[in-house]
């Protein structure tokens, strides 16, 4: 086939481009969740938003009258989880994590204040979970907080510092990628909670 630039596009070039586009989805879990949440909001399925991180601005420079540049700022407090909202009259709260590791999900980025927050949500009847993406495999799993919390406490007692990939694969639910609803976690919530 001839294209406007006069060059023929080989099948090999086409498949390479497709694979590059597919692989570039790695390390973009948050972007995929934001697209999904916009779809949920636009279709009136749920109201779920990314929580803003509270920041204390300390210093601002004004290089132009019309522009301000923040030169120094600090986090006011540790944030809890990434997203929250409401779906079918239930409070939804979750954390998104991504790893390039092939064999495990490290617990180093899950903090005590997050675990306390999640335990509170569960105690009050909310739905709390992790969305964990293994970017090497391009797989995203729905992993209930109730299943992750025991691993975190084991880590605190000088136990295992991670969750094996196979365990997440077995105990979590794989979320297939779709164009419009990239990380359709509500379909998993429907199966598990409703």
Pick out the chain residues at pLDDT < 50: 1-27
CA distances from 44 to 37, 40, 90, 174 (A): 10, 6, 15, 24
pLDDT attached to residue 8: 47
DSSP structure class, residue 82: S
Residue among 130, 136, 193 at smallest CA distance from 163: 130
11 is written with which tokens? Answer: 């099948």
What is the rounded CA–CA span in Å between residue 99 and residue 91? 27
The candidate with the shortest Cα–Cα distance to 101, out of 143, 132, 130, is: 132
Cβ pair 183, 40 in contact under 8 A:
no
For residue 100, the SS3 value is coil
- Residue list for the binding site: 80, 82, 95, 114
At residue 23, the pLDDT reads 40
Calculate the CA 178 to chain-centre distance.
15
Contacts of 100 (CB under 8 A, 6+ apart): 26, 27, 135, 136
Backbone angles phi, psi at 33, to 5 degrees: -65, -40
Feature table: binding site for Mg(2+): 80, 82, 95, 114
CB 132 within 8 Å of CB 143: yes
State residue 3's pLDDT score. Answer: 47
Please give the CATH architecture assigned to the domain spanning 26-193: 3-Layer(aba) Sandwich (3.40)
- Listed in sequence order, the residues at least 6 apart from 31 whose beta carbon sits closer than 8 Å to its beta carbon are none
Task: Please report which helix (H) or strand (E) contains residue 68, including its range.
Answer: strand 67-75
Number of alpha carbons in the 13 Å side-chain half-sphere of residue 116: 6
pLDDT for position 77: 61
Percent of the chain with pLDDT over 70: 84
Return the pLDDT at 179.
Answer: 85
| pLDDT score of 18 | 40
Cβ count near 44 (within 10 Å): 7
């Amino acid at each position: 086939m001839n294209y406007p630039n006069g060059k023929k596009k080989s099948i090999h070039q086409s498949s390479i481009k497709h694979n590059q586009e597919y692989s570039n989805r790695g390390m973009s879990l948050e972007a995929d969740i934001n697209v999904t949440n916009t779809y949920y909001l636009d279709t009136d399925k749920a109201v779920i938003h990314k929580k803003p991180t509270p920041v204390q601005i300390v210093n601002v420079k004004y290089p132009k009258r019309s522009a301000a540049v923040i030169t120094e700022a600090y986090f006011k407090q540790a944030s809890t989880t990434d997203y929250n909202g409401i779906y079918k009259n239930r409070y939804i709260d979750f954390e998104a994590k991504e790893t390039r590791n092939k064999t495990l999900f490290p617990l180093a980025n899950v903090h005590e204040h997050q675990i306390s927050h999640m335990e509170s949500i569960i105690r009050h009847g909310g739905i709390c979970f992790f969305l964990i993406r293994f970017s090497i495999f391009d797989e995203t799993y729905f992993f209930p907080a109730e299943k992750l919390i025991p691993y975190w406490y084991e880590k605190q007692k000088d136990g295992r510092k991670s969750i094996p990939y196979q365990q997440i694969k077995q105990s979590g639910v794989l979320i297939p990628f779709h164009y419009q609803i990239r990380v359709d976690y509500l379909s998993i919530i429907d199966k598990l909670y409703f």
